[in-house]
């Protein structure tokens, strides 16, 4: 059965990437477009040779639309995702689920109540380096993890290749951290592999835009392990970097090359010097996994749980930077 997908907005920079994934998958087609910007939506529909709907309600009412891809502004996520769920449409959405835990919980309740499949695009969860790092940690090669650092940045704000609406605080609900920093945030949480108690964040405004273009967030745990998340729109040649440090060893990725290095006291002396580890193959993309869940009536609770945790951490980080203090996750409304 071919899954017919309605496109909800082309606001996000990755919108056309997801359209391409749908076009390349043998079991999915883009069948309709809605956009909060009618001009942009009509242009996309014409390019795709599919109907444009000026009303989201009208598009969701179509019986031949089975699912939606959501690339709407973050501020609209609760509205459009819950509408899609109530209409019985399966949902693939760009991160974050929403800007706050309250909104994310509303979305999750509607997903569960209507029995639709939702997958959040957290692509680096399925990358080979992530899988290899998880294997290293599961084997205990680093001992007790004490410190994780992950950094992702680019030069979008100083070379102006990011669309201007990515600097709109109202639409985006944040800047470099909520957009780009999502990836190091969920990876840091994954590698720490324990609950975060509180978050402290600091934002910089190098280019003077409405949203931060330089950001760091520190995640604290009850054991004393620390996670550091870094993101920026104002960096040239800054490699995507992961560091995982433990009581028995250290693992490095992207310093600066895309190689995985380990040095440890354990493993029978196998890695007493810096040693390059082979990186596993990437697993199936989040989009393809979503299609599989629709077809097989399965779900990936790990994806949803991580997406919900990401929302909590982002909300705490934004609040911390705004209020100039550490924010405990228990302070967030649910």
Q: For 25-72, write each residue's pLDDT tens digit.
A: 999 999 999 999 999 999 999 999 999 999 999 999 999 999 999 999
Q: Is 75 exposed, middle or buried (0-12, 13-18, 19+ CB in 10 A)?
A: middle
- Categorize the per-residue pLDDT at 277 as very low, low, confident or very high, splitting at 50, 70 and 90: very high
pLDDT digits (tens, 9 = 90+) for 184-220: 999 999 999 999 999 999 999 999 999 999 999 999 9
In this predicted structure, the answer to whether residue 267 has a pLDDT above a threshold of 90 is no
Q: How far apart are the first and last CA of the chain?
A: 38
Mean pLDDT of 96-100: 96
Say how far apart CA 188 and CA 183 lie, in whole Å: 9
Burial class (CB in 10 A: 0-12, 13-18, 19+), 115: exposed
């Amino acid at each position: 059965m071919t899954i017919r997908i309605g496109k909800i907005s082309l606001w996000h920079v990755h919108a056309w990437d997801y359209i391409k994934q749908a076009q390349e998958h043998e079991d999915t087609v883009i069948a309709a477009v809605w956009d909060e910007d009618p001009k942009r939506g009509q242009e996309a529909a014409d390019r795709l040779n599919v109907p444009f709907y000026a009303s989201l309600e009208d598009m969701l009412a179509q019986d031949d639309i089975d699912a939606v891809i959501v690339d709407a502004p973050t501020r609209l996520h609760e509205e459009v995702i819950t509408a899609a769920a109530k209409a019985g449409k399966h949902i693939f959405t760009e991160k974050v689920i929403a800007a706050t835990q309250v909104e994310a919980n509303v979305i999750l309740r509607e997903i569960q109540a209507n029995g639709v499949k939702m997958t959040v695009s957290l692509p680096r969860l399925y990358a080979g380096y992530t899988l290899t790092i998880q294997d290293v940690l599961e084997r205990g090669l680093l001992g007790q993890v004490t410190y994780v650092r992950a950094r992702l940045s680019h030069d979008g704000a100083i070379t102006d290749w990011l669309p201007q609406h990515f600097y709109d605080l109202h639409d985006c609900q944040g800047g470099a951290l909520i957009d780009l920093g999502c990836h190091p945030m969920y990876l840091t949480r994954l590698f720490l592999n324990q609950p975060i108690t509180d978050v402290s964040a600091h934002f910089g405004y190098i280019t003077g835009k409405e949203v931060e273009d330089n950001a760091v967030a520190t995640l604290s745990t009850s054991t004393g392990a620390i996670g550091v998340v870094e993101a920026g729109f104002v960096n040239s040649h800054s490699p995507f970097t992961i560091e995982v440090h433990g009581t028995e060893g250290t693992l490095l990725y992207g310093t600066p090359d895309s190689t995985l290095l380990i040095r440890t006291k354990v493993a029978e002396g196998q890695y007493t010097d810096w040693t390059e580890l082979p990186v596993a193959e990437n697993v199936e993309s989040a989009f393809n996994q979503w299609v599989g869940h629709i077809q097989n009536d399965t779900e990936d609770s790990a994806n949803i749980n991580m997406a919900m945790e990401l929302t909590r951490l982002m909300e705490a980080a934004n609040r911390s930077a705004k209020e100039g203090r550490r924010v405990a996750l228990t302070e967030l409304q649910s």
